[in-house]
Amino acid sequence: MTADIAVYGATGFVGKLTARYLAEHAPEGVTVALAGRSREKLERLRTELGPRAADWPVLTADSADAASMRTLAESARVVATTVGPYAKHGLPLVEACANAGTDYADLTGEVLFMHETITRYHAAAERSGARIVHNCGFDSIPSDIGTLLLHEAAGEELEDTTLVVRALKGGPSGGTLASGMGEMDAAKSSRDLANVVNDPYALSPDREAEPDLGPEAGVRGPVHDDELGMWLGPFVMASINTRVVRRSNALQGWAYGRRFRYREAMGMGSGAAGRAKATGLSVGLGALFAGLSFGPTRKALEAVLPSPGEGPSEKTQQSGFFRIDVHTRTASGARRVCRITAQGDPGYAATAVMLGESALCLAGDRAGLPERAGVLTPATALGAALAARLRAAGHTYDVG
């Protein structure tokens, strides 16, 4: 039997959260398979998920075994995977889904991995009709869907656009940290890879066609934005999200505009206090990245930072939240904002909702999705249908 959705990595920390979300929220008749390396752990998880999951199939699969990846891809209409770091474990599954015509959703935040899947598998996925959708969690759904909704509401091209994280409560994800360190090491090992990581249009489908808008390095230190009336500091996920949003613009024929400039930052408030907070954040993040790039200090940091597969308690997850505003100026000079909020730790509880709804969207809303296949983004693969699902799930996307 072909399952509607297979959750690969279901016994991992975020995989369990996603499987639990689907057990509680998938419509009747939607079949979810639990996939991973250990049948024993998968069967135990199925029991823990309760009666709605009692008949869910269990699929053993290992990313190191290409044949099992092909079997997994052929066993489901949609595969949602939490198995990272994706550069290390993800390519065989993307290849299998692209060739089989199976839709795919993941949580990667790895620019080099996405760049490689685009180069190697975009054409195959277009031919088979597969939607390969990266970034279906906190990176980069709020950024990507928020910008899309702004454009649709504006009815005209966008120009200067800034995502501001107004408030955020949540712990660092061990998987995200491992992915970031892997990408840092790869960039240090190769000038070509470093150039990809540092290119603001690294994920463009046609790099030569991108506009020259001058430096687009983003917010790296304390910056005062006079229009927003606040100090801005660096947002750790900006280097991922900005490239995803720019790819969405290009895949849509630069619908947001040829003068669309996009950046992301942490909002730190106004006055002297805001400047001090922005400065402190900049210094702290700089020290963290410097420490992770140097062997001895990395070992010390790894001892205290969460490892892949680890995560916060359920109480801590539920007490987390995020509040984001995406501000834009349109071609006519109008100012608009999309306000995005969600309850739940951004990298865990809220991300499980986003990945779960992305998978349900691919499985159940296909007739209403953009007519597009290949290696895509949330905005270009799922668009307004995903926004509607997330609103129904309790997330806020208000455009004003």
pLDDT value of position 183:
82
How far is C-alpha 234 from the chain's CA centre? 18
Same domain, 208 and 298: yes
* Distance in angstroms (rounded) separating the CA atoms of residues 102 and 225: 44
Closest C-alpha to 59, from 44, 45, 77, 42: 42
At 314, the pLDDT band (50, 70, 90 cuts) reads: confident
User: Mean pLDDT, the chain, as a whole number?
Assistant: 94
81 in a domain, yes or no? yes
Instruction: Please state which of the ranges 21-25, 68-72, 176-180, 330-334 shows the lowest mean pLDDT.
Output: 176-180
pLDDT value of position 215:
84
- Give me the count of residues in the chain: 400
| pLDDT surpassing 70 at residue 230 | yes
How confident is the model over 123-141, as a mean pLDDT? 97
Same domain, 96 and 177: no
pLDDT value of position 346:
95
390 in a domain, yes or no? no
CATH number reported for the structural domain that contains residue 56 in this entry: 3.40.50.720
| pLDDT surpassing 90 at residue 216 | no
Same domain, 308 and 366: no
At 259, the pLDDT band (50, 70, 90 cuts) reads: very high
Read off the tokens for 124.
Answer: 């195959």
392 in a domain, yes or no? no
Is residue 109 within 8 A of residue 180, CB to CB? The reply is yes
How confident is the model over 278-298, as a mean pLDDT? 81
* Distance in angstroms (rounded) separating the CA atoms of residues 220 and 224: 12
Same domain, 133 and 146: no
Instruction: Please state which of the ranges 55-64, 254-263, 306-315 shows the lowest mean pLDDT.
Output: 306-315
Same domain, 371 and 316: no
Same domain, 95 and 45: yes
103 in a domain, yes or no? yes
pLDDT value of position 260:
97
The count of domains in the chain is 2
Same domain, 185 and 125: no
User: In this prediction, what percent of the chain has a pLDDT beyond 70?
Assistant: 98
400 in a domain, yes or no? no
Which DSSP string do the residues of 235-253 spell out, in sequence order?
Answer: -TTHHHHHHHHHHHHHHTT
Closest C-alpha to 80, from 97, 92, 67, 60: 97
129 in a domain, yes or no? yes
SS3 state of residue 166: strand
* Distance in angstroms (rounded) separating the CA atoms of residues 146 and 108: 19
Q: Hunting for tokens 């996307």 — which residue is that?
A: 397
304 in a domain, yes or no? yes
CA distances (Å), 172 to each of 130, 196, 229, 269, 311, in order? 32, 25, 29, 23, 8
Residue 174: other Cβ atoms inside 10 A: 20
User: In this prediction, what percent of the chain has a pLDDT beyond 90?
Assistant: 83
pLDDT value of position 296:
76
**Phi, psi (degrees; rounded to nearest 5) at 76:** -150, 155
393 in a domain, yes or no? no
Radius of gyration of the chain (CA): 20
pLDDT value of position 360:
98
Closest C-alpha to 131, from 79, 206, 69, 201: 79
How confident is the model over 192-212, as a mean pLDDT? 94
Same domain, 114 and 147: no
203-230 burial: b if 16+ Cβ within 10 Å, else e: bbeeeeebeeeeeeebbeebbebeebeb
Residue 101: other Cβ atoms inside 10 A: 17
Same domain, 108 and 122: yes
Domain enclosing residue 362, as ranges: 3-138+348-385
Residue 253: other Cβ atoms inside 10 A: 7
Read off the tokens for 396.
Answer: 């806020």
How confident is the model over 197-215, as a mean pLDDT? 93
| pLDDT surpassing 70 at residue 301 | no
Strand-pairing partners, residue 325, are 164, 339
| pLDDT surpassing 90 at residue 45 | yes
Strand-pairing partners, residue 261, are 160
Same domain, 187 and 278: yes
Residues 155-182 pLDDT 10s: 999 999 999 999 999 877 777 777 777 8
| pLDDT surpassing 90 at residue 285 | no
pLDDT value of position 177:
74
Which DSSP string do the residues of 334-370 spell out, in sequence order?
Answer: -EEEEEEEEES-TTTHHHHHHHHHHHHHHHH-GGGS-
Same domain, 317 and 183: yes
* Distance in angstroms (rounded) separating the CA atoms of residues 85 and 285: 22
pLDDT value of position 214:
86
Return left, alpha or beta for 106; rule: phi > 0 is left, psi -120 to 50 is alpha, else beta: beta
Same domain, 220 and 96: no
